[in-house]
Structure 1
Amino acid sequence: MTSQRFLSLDVFRGLTVAAMILVNNPGSWDYVYPPLAHAKWHGCTPTDLVFPFFLFAVGNAMSFALKKYEAAGNAAVLKKILTRTLLIFGIGLLLNWFPFVKWTETGSLTIKPLSQLRIMGVFPRIALCYGAAALLIHYLKDKGAFVAAGVLLFVYWFLLVVFGQGDPYSLEGYAGLPLDKLILGEQHMYRGEGVPFDPEGLLSTLPAICNVIFGYLAGRFIQEQGKTYEMLARLMIIGSILIFAALCWDMVFPINKKIWTSSYVLYTVGIALLLLSVVMYLIEFRGQTKWTPFFTVFGKNPLFIYVLAAVVVKLYALIRPAADQNLYSWIYENIFRPIGGNMNGSFLFALFHVCLFAAVGWWMDKKKIYVRV
């Protein structure tokens, strides 16, 4: 296997983190360009690609790291996988609880009760998907993990059809909803749909594991084939086949991020392969690297920068320049909205924060500070 380093993989990971910050932080949720908003239910917008791309990038990174761990023996590998899984999951719980206090209707601060702490979310899903994918890859190896991913996708489809109620692909009929209520409890679930429903729930984590596995397999394939046009062509062909298969499957099993359908997995992995192919062509084959530093600084500290961005925004919501306005809305209303109006101002708010955390990443890289989780 070649030991070549691929800058394009770092850029892809950094681009994904930058996109996560961009779509998570509009100046106002009332003014968001359609491509920067999630699909209401079925379908897929550019924003719906960001999280599965990140899981794909986790798999890419695993393809380099796991072989190093395995050289230390089985016990060391299991310890590393378990430790990292628990650490990322724990960070997710703390992030969900942060800033640990909230404003009451009377204008006083009170501790946020653990009885209402959301258990799942982005980081807990990353943790579970990483841990499960790493164990499957470690024990089943590459071909076995590929087969396991296929089994997971079809088993998930089977579970939704058999245990779903009415329309199994609707919010009300989704089989994962009663499972989350039973195991997590309604008070520990997300309520973005107006009812207790977690888009990062337990059952839909099963197909999400496949995004990591496919990312790992893509990373292994790239390393084995090296920087050749044949490798690049195969990546693009595989990506195109997956997109075609996903669109065919969509006719009976709709592409849907919120319940993370199996067709959605194939669709997002296919697009990830095509995007990665384009990035690799520009960087590895054409040598066009002048634009890459902006994204590599995100890719060198991906989880830390994402956590930092979430912490800063949560602190905005806690700080109140006025009794009826937090710092988040104050910045938008007094700085970005006057500059660009409602829609453009909201976008500029998000773009400013991407640049802000790029500057943090640049400083950390200059100081050789790399936070590994």
Structure 2
Amino acid sequence: MTICFMIIVNTPGSGATPFAPLEHAAWHGFTPTDLVFPSFLFAVGNAMSFSMKRYQQIGNAAVLGKIFKRTLLIFLIGYLMYWFPFFNFGGDHITLSPIGNTRIMGVLQRIALCYCFASLMIHYLSKRSVIIASVLLLVGYWVLLLIYGNPVDPLSMTGNAGIYLDKFILGDSHLYHGEGIAFDPEGILSTLPAIVNVVVGYYAGKFIQDKGKGYDTIAKLLLVGCLFIFLALCWNMVFPINKKLWSSSFVLVTTGLDLVILSTLVYALEIKAWNKYNWTSFFITFGKNPLFIYLLSEILVQFFWMIHVRKGLNLYSWINDTIYQVIAPGAIGSLLFALSYMLICWLVGLVLDKKHIYVRV
């Protein structure tokens, strides 16, 4: 479900402003779109609750080898995705895209780092120590922003400690520029609280496996989820919910919502068996090849932008201007394009599933 929604919000049709819930909050605040990426991290942790059982049966060197290899591969794939298509096509000349301008951090890079640190914490620390470490990450991040940020406004886009650290270590040219300035919403410092999203996902999955899929399990998950949301709203008064800053209150509200959603799905599918028409198979197709389908969605759209129908008009804009914005002008046309694009990615995933091809890292 997360991959499906991620593709929809990442590739809106051009020519119109999307519906407000399908856009990220400009700075402080929260929209349904802001739940997508943290839910991805939550799902990573949930999957770890199954895979990490095997780590208890292998040696220390093998555990570290698996964790660091997977971290490196996912990070490298994310980096290459931002460098793609590796060449600049201008007029009659083709030049190598300068690696000096390539974004270093990003979505997959954050997933890789959060997976790495969460795995190490969970494998080598007791549950109690992991919980304490998670609290320290959330509180410590807040303290770092207050101490090292701009004294006037330490939580602004240009005055937070995260942007200072990223510019010092990575440099302006290696940061995201989609906000109009060199600012990376997946920066180094804001990765620290994001680790907690993976940790909560892990313990949620493990709790369900240990306690079973009954009413008592669902009730406890719901209570914890609601408690996290309540704490987030309280913390929001002094440390606003902010996806681009990945504030600690943002971690609590997203993990709280994910716990509520997961509890609801367990109730609907496992207890009440509300899957008469097998509607979940649509989303399972995304879940069987999540990394490949996500990469496909990001790279395919770049080809749409690279192909020029005529001077000054690429294929992406042409499809929207001549089809979707004609059929349904405005935000509806933008949404229809996003849904169509998501279905193309789903069809590729379906073909892979039928052929039993699953890309693993």
Is the shorter-chain TM-score for this pair beyond 0.5, marking a shared fold? yes
Q: Could you say which residue in structure 1 is the equivalent of 2:309?
A: 321
- Among 323, 337, 351, the alignment partner of 1:363 is 351
Quote the offset at 1:168 in angstroms: 1.1
Q: What is the identity, as a one-letter code, of the residue corresponding to 1:299?
A: G
Contact 1:107 1:323 in 2 (8 A): no
Unaligned runs of 5+ in 2: none
Quote the offset at 1:71 in angstroms: 1.3
Q: Could you say which residue in structure 2 is the equivalent of 1:10?
A: none
For normalisation by structure 2, the TM-score amounts to 0.97
Q: 1:29 to 1:196 in 2, by over 3 A?
A: farther
CA distance in 1, matches of 2:220, 2:210: 13
Superposition pairs for residues 163-312 of structure 1, below 5 Å? 163-165=148-150, 166-289=152-275, 290-312=278-300
Quote the offset at 1:110 in angstroms: 3.2
CA distance in 1, matches of 2:157, 2:316: 31
Q: Could you say which residue in structure 1 is the equivalent of 2:336?
A: 348
Percent identical across equivalent pairs? 54
Quote the offset at 1:178 in angstroms: 1.1
Q: Which moved more, 1:242-251 or 1:141-150?
A: 141-150
Quote the offset at 1:179 in angstroms: 0.5
- Among 103, 107, 118, the alignment partner of 1:122 is 107
Q: Does 1:139 align with 2:124?
A: yes
Q: 1:187 to 1:70 in 2, by over 3 A?
A: same
Q: Could you say which residue in structure 1 is the equivalent of 2:22?
A: 36
CA distance in 1, matches of 2:56, 2:147: 39
Can you list the C-alpha shifts for 1:20-49, whole angstroms capped at 9, x where unaligned? 100000012742100000000001100000
Unaligned runs of 5+ in 1: 1-14
Q: What is the identity, as a one-letter code, of the residue corresponding to 2:60?
A: N
Quote the offset at 1:167 in angstroms: 1.1
Quote the offset at 1:196 in angstroms: 0.6
Q: What is the identity, as a one-letter code, of the residue corresponding to 1:272?
A: D
Q: What is the identity, as a one-letter code, of the residue corresponding to 1:224?
A: D
CA distance in 1, matches of 2:238, 2:280: 40
CA distance in 2, matches of 1:288, 1:29: 39
CA distance in 2, matches of 1:38, 1:152: 24
> Partner of 2:17: helix, strand, or coil?
coil
Q: What is the identity, as a one-letter code, of the residue corresponding to 2:214?
A: T
Can you list the C-alpha shifts for 1:193-213, whole angstroms capped at 9, x where unaligned? 211100000000000011001
Q: Could you say which residue in structure 1 is the equivalent of 2:80?
A: 94
Q: Which moved more, 1:325-334 or 1:266-275?
A: 325-334
Q: Could you say which residue in structure 2 is the equivalent of 1:335?
A: 323
> Partner of 2:358: helix, strand, or coil?
coil
> Partner of 2:160: helix, strand, or coil?
coil
Q: Which moved more, 1:115-124 or 1:23-32?
A: 23-32
CA distance in 2, matches of 1:346, 1:286: 36
Q: What is the identity, as a one-letter code, of the residue corresponding to 1:261?
A: S
Contact 2:352 2:358 in 1 (8 A): yes
Q: Could you say which residue in structure 1 is the equivalent of 2:360?
A: 372
Contact 1:118 1:188 in 2 (8 A): yes
Can you list the C-alpha shifts for 1:201-254, whole angstroms capped at 9, x where unaligned? 000000001100111111111111111100001111100000000000000110
> Partner of 1:102: helix, strand, or coil?
strand
Contact 1:142 1:217 in 2 (8 A): no
Q: Does 1:68 align with 2:40?
A: no
Contact 2:197 2:255 in 1 (8 A): yes
> Partner of 2:125: helix, strand, or coil?
helix
What is the number of equivalent residue pairs in this alignment? 358
CA distance in 1, matches of 2:164, 2:66: 33
Instruction: Give me the CA root mean square deviation.
Output: 1.2
Q: Does 1:17 align with 2:3?
A: yes
CA distance in 2, matches of 1:307, 1:22: 14
